[in-house]
Structures are given as structure tokens and as C-alpha cells.
Amino acid sequence: MSDSGARQCVGVLRETAPGETRVALTPAVLPDLAKSGFSVVVQEGAGEAAGYPDAAFVERGAKIVATRGAVLEKSQIVVAVRAAGANPAWSDADAAGFTSGQTLIALCDPLSGAAASAALAPRGIQLFALEMIPRITRAQAMDVLSSMALIAGYKAVLLAASGLPRMFPMFMTAAGTVQPARVFVVGAGVAGLQAIATACRLGAVVHAYDVRPTVKDEVKSVGGKFLELPLDTQGAAGAGGYASAMDESFYRRQQELMAQAVSGSDVVITTAVIPGKPAPRLITRAMVEEMQPGSIVIDLAAERGGNCEATVPGENTRVGGATVMGPTNLPAMVPYHASQLFSKNVAAFVKHIFAKGPSAINYSDEIVRETLICRGGELVHPKVGERLGAKVTMTLDL
């Protein structure tokens, strides 16, 4: 780093969001950060829930401090898994500990939780929201959403396999043949493709549907069979590889056509999300009621309201003979490796943003521009401003 060789201190906070077990940085990335000119302080116990004891951080060069306040006092850059709108437990007291000029890097849900992110602006905090990292080639190493979606897709299949009163693979035995489970995955993004691949490895017969017909080859490449529906999908592919929101008539027709696939499946896993908007309703309660007893629906869009009409976020709900699961944070159920991947993404982001020091950030860089929410006492992200009814123009020379 430049800036007269000054080392920037990165602070790692213990998570306060309910049920959050991940940690923003793991010991493995600390030597690389040190080579890039960063020192690290970690709040006591920050990594314990993920399987990373304080001693492991100390061994890799970090300093352990007892309190959140001590982390904030010593750090110029603060990293967390969930903050602002992404943390239901976030309060004014959390924000009060920051000082003007500090940088906060975390998942912040700045589109759906715009007010919580904007509230940090008057404190002079430089806020970067990890959800907003653009899906471009040079940002792949920083893409926390893809990393966490991969884990969610994997874990969803394991939950289904554990809860289903049937086995996933086919078995041919002296007592007869056990037919394989039938799994239907809705949405073939990162989570969906991982769910397809995992279910196939466990021996299930897997069909998948996505509003974007261009992902057909990707579904096949991981072992799934693509379900084609006679729908007009022009304009279905949005920015960054996400699906675009469609109108109500499209979703009604889609539901009608998918009903047979849902009722004929032992497991349905839904993964359809649209950044900053409620999840599209794709599965009706009536469709779930037609499923066989013991069937399972796992709704990975539960945190955004759910793809299934019967989903209750954070709960398992009985609908007829089926169970609808609404997990809201599956990566936190695999915290060791989820933290490992998240940490590598965050470390790559920190090194990119501060490559030439804190006073030489390239604010015209696309990665910086798309993730920067607040700076210099102002809300600077136009999309976040739109959510609050304010016209915001990003100024690069604050």
C-alpha cells in the first residue's frame, strides 16, 4: 500500500444478527492481508460459532480485543457479515460506535433496507454493500452472493433428503426395486444449479425450470433435465444474469403449467429471487396440497417473502400431507465453509478497494461505484436514493 507505508487496520466484528454463525474474515486470509499492508483486530469470540477459535486468529497474526467498541476504536476498515438493513437486530446503538471517515463493508440489503443504509450517511461512514458487487469477470473473486448461493443450494438438498420419508437413489434389491426420488428445482442460478448437481449426486431424478431458456444447457451439464414451458420469455433475462420481474398474467400462466411438475415431485426446491424486490410467487398452496404425503418444498426465497404461497419465513409449515420449509439463512447452517468462502470474497474486495491506500480509492471503478452506498456524509448510490424517493447523483470527487 501507499499512503506513506501506513498499515490500515481491519476490524472483524462478532455478528449480532439472530442465528448468524458466520464470521467475516477467517484466519487463513490474514497472512495475505498482512502482505498487502493490512493489520487485523478481531472481537473476542467472533469466529467461535463458525469453528474458528480466537487462538487460530492470533496464530495468523491478528490481535484479539474484548469488545465491539475496542474493534471500532482501533480500525479504519470494519468488516461484518450482516449490518444495517441485512441485520434485523441492527439499531442506532450499533451505528453510534462508528466515527466519521470509517469504512464499513458488509451485507447491508441496501435496496430493500434502504433507510437503514442511508441512516449511516450523516455519521460520515463510508459504506460498501457486498450485495451490490457487479457480476463481471474481474469481480468474481469478490462475489459473496454467488458463494453463499452455492452453499444454500447444497444444504437445501441435504435438508430435503433428511426430511423426506423416502430415499433419494434407486436401489435394486432382492426385496424389490426402490424408485429414485423425484426432485423439481425452480430457478437455475447458482443456488439452483448446485441443488440440481447435489440431488443428482444423491441419485434423484431431477427436473428444473427457469424463466430464462438460455440456462437449459447449464441444467443439463450438472445432470438435470430442463422443463420447457410454452411461455413467452422475451425480456426474462435481467442485468447481471438475474431473472427479470414479469407481469402477473405471466406468473399465473407459469403456475398453471408448472402444477403437474410440482404435484408429481417428492421434493420441490425454489430459488427464484429478483434483487431488491419481493420474490415472485410461483407455487400456490393448492399446488402443494396436490403433492403426495411426506413431500417437501424448500423455499430458498423465504427471506424475500417466498416463491411459495404457503411459505412462512423461518418456519416449517404443514400443507396437506406436505411440509413447506422456509429457511432464511442456510449458509449459517454450514458456517465453517460458508465463512471460508465469504472471507476470501471480503479479503479480495478489501485489497481491491484499498489497493493504493485509503486516500487513493478509485471511485470511478465499476466495482467501487456499484457497491458504495454512503460517503462524505452523503447517500451516493442512485438506486438506493430511488427507493427513498430521492434523486441521488454519485459525486466522484467528494
Positions annotated as catalytic residues are 135, 140, 143, 146, 242
Q: What is the Cα–Cα distance from 45 to 393, expressed in whole angstroms? A: 40
Largest CA distance in the chain: 76
For residue 95, which of 63, 66, 127, 67 has the smallest C-alpha distance? 127
Query: How far from each other are the two terminal CA atoms of the chain, in whole angstroms?
Result: 22
Q: Which residues pair with 226 in a beta bridge?
A: 208
CA 212 to chain centre: 21
**CA-based R_g, the chain, Å:** 22
Q: Residue 187: CA atoms inside 13 Å, Cβ hemisphere, count?
A: 32
| Helix 144-163 and helix 190-201, axial crossing angle in degrees, nearest 10 | 40
Which DSSP helix (H) or strand (E) runs through 219? helix 216-221
Q: What are phi and psi of 333, to 5 degrees?
A: -85, -10
Apex 219 CA angle, 216 and 225, nearest 5: 90
The residue type found at 389 is G
* Number of CB atoms found within 10 A of residue 96's CB: 10
If phi over 0 gives left and psi between -120 and 50 gives alpha, with beta otherwise, what is residue 50? alpha
